[in-house]
Structure 1
Amino acid sequence: MIRVFLALLLFVTGGAAAMAQQSPQEPVAKGGYQYQLYVPADHDADAARRWPVIVFLHGSGERGDDVTRVKVHGIPKVVERPGETHPYIAVSPLLPADEDWDFARLGAILDHVQRRFRTDPDRVYLTGLSRGGRGAWRWAAAEPGRFAAIAPVSGGGDLAKSCALKAMPIWAFHGDRDNIVPVRETFESVEAVRACGGTPRLTIYPDTGHDGWTPTYDNPELYTWLLAQRRAAPDQDQK
């Protein structure tokens, strides 16, 4: 009887330990961002395996002090779906009210996660929607050596910094009837990178308003494309 009980206990606790889950995390430094962290259940199963990381930046509507709101859209919503597993670590920071993304604070979280877990430094990806889409363009342009690819949604970048992204795999998304962030922001950002010699992809959703993120993050092709990208060697000519 004792053996049966112990076997059952081992099964239950082992199964619970193996379940992947997303959990809220405190800031890694004073004044930093809270964030949601998703780690695959089998992260520890193979000591030689290095995991890709996807960083997700939310939009203006989720700003505040409630880190659960980060899970309303995008990657942190996707990884919460029951019965699904995902072959990446997901990092989803929370932006306080009335603030815009600070790349130093974002970088501190990413550095911490990369030290804490077995991550692949050549497979770090950046995506975001609306204000987070703009943040993805801008952070990648400020630190192109950090990322293997970006997927901005419903937001454009700083056109003056576009040439920093000429070697970056980019897939941008926008609704053609967006009355919050004009679709021309994404058109202009993509064309500016192309003018520098880059080859970004662009998807424009017909008859779609600001919510370009639901079809984007529900599309399995996005993850197949992202996870196939690897960080390019530094380009000394980037500006």
Structure 2
Amino acid sequence: MTYRLLCLFLLIATQAAAMDTCHGDIACKIGDRSYHVLEPDGWDGESPLPVLLHFHGWARQGDVVVNHERIAGATKLRGVLLVAPNGLGKSWNFWNADTEDVDFADRVLQDVASRYPIDPDRIYVSGYSFGGAMAWRYACQSGDDTAALLAIAGSIQQTEHCPQAPAQVRHVHGLDDTVMGFPFGPGDDTTYPVALWKAKFDCNGATPRGDWSVRPFLTLSRVEWTDCAQGQVVLDTHPGGHFIPHGWIGRQLDELLGRTPTYP
């Protein structure tokens, strides 16, 4: 065996061993912190992968995310690598710009890129509840390389200044959310949950896109802002409470990847 072939064999063996010991329920270590990762179904082991970086909700960890039907169930079927960081104390510090969790998430993506061939132009950042707020914080502080923010039932203050921004924002929130309450604007404005990004992108004129659903018990209403100096904003609302709507993540990924929306 030549030296070059031996090196190649050792590299493949090392990568395989890393994946065997750092996958799904088994966390990948970064210093004293960690994250979980899950490949999509049928991946050939070589093709560059879009990434969904998803921040878990309060009192959860990344192992819940990589086993969650409405999160992992969506990424596995769409060729997307799911990455789920673990928050300290099962929570996130998203309250202001002075947070170590943005740098941690950057290190997670760097580590993922050392293990997998990822597509740097299709990095999507998501989260639910406290994790949704953390996704907003990440997009606000480290968002210039982010293709889209996919936030669910959680955000930061709409009056904050964000030095950076993703290319596209997609947010969903329940009108009857009693955990992280729906942020109605003046006059009960139901478009206020994305006011920060509308201002950041200098958007004009909301365009209603009508209702949609994938399960008969929940209808979502969509509004879009496409007339913007930069970026695009999409807001889905529903009459329910604090949860991840069935099919919401899958639909966003389908649209971002240029696929015909399907469920699941």
**TM-score if structure 2 supplies the norm length?**
0.64
Question: Residue in 1 aligned with 2:30?
Answer: 29
Counterpart in 1 of 2:198? 194
In the TM superposition, what whole-angstrom CA distance separates every residue of 1:5-58 from its partner, at most 9, and x where no partner exists? xxxxxxxxxxxxxxxxx62343432221232433443232xx4x3221111111
Q: How much does 1:72 deviate? A: 4.1
| SS of residue in 2 equivalent to 1:24 | coil
Greater relative CO, 1 or 2 (CA 8 Å, sep 6+): 1
Aligned residue-pair number: 194
Query: Which residue matches 1:203?
Result: 236
Q: Which sections of structure 2, spanning at least 5 residues, go unmatched? A: 1-22, 94-100, 185-189, 204-231, 260-264
Residue number in structure 1 paired with 2:9: none
Change (3 A) 1:139 1:120: same
Aligned equivalent of 2:254: 224
SS of alignment partner, residue 23 of structure 1: coil
Determine the C-alpha separation between the residues in 1 that align with 2:104 and 2:164. Answer: 21
Deviation of 1:77 (Å): 4.9
Alignment CA distance shift 1:123-1:57 (3 Å): same
2:83 corresponds to:
91
Whether the 8 Å CA contact 1:125–1:226 is kept in 2: the answer is no
SS at match of 1:164: coil
Larger strand proportion, structure 1 or 2?
A: 2
Deviation, 1:119, is: 1.0
The residue aligned with 1:5 is none
Q: Distance in 2 between matches of 1:171 and 1:38?
A: 23
Aligned to 2:136: 137
User: Please, what is the CA RMSD of the aligned residues?
Assistant: 2.7
SS in 1 for 2:125: strand
* Distance of 2:108 and 2:148 partners within structure 1: 18
Q: 1:216 to 1:41 in 2, by over 3 A?
A: closer
- Code of the residue aligned with 1:69 in structure 2: it is V
Distance 2:234 2:105 in 1: 25
- 1:123 aligned counterpart, secondary structure: strand
Match of 1:124 in 2: 123
Please list every run of at least 4 consecutive aligned residues from structure 1 whose deviation after the TM superposition is greater than 6 angstroms.
none
Indicate conservation of the 8 Å contact 1:137/1:152, yes or no: yes
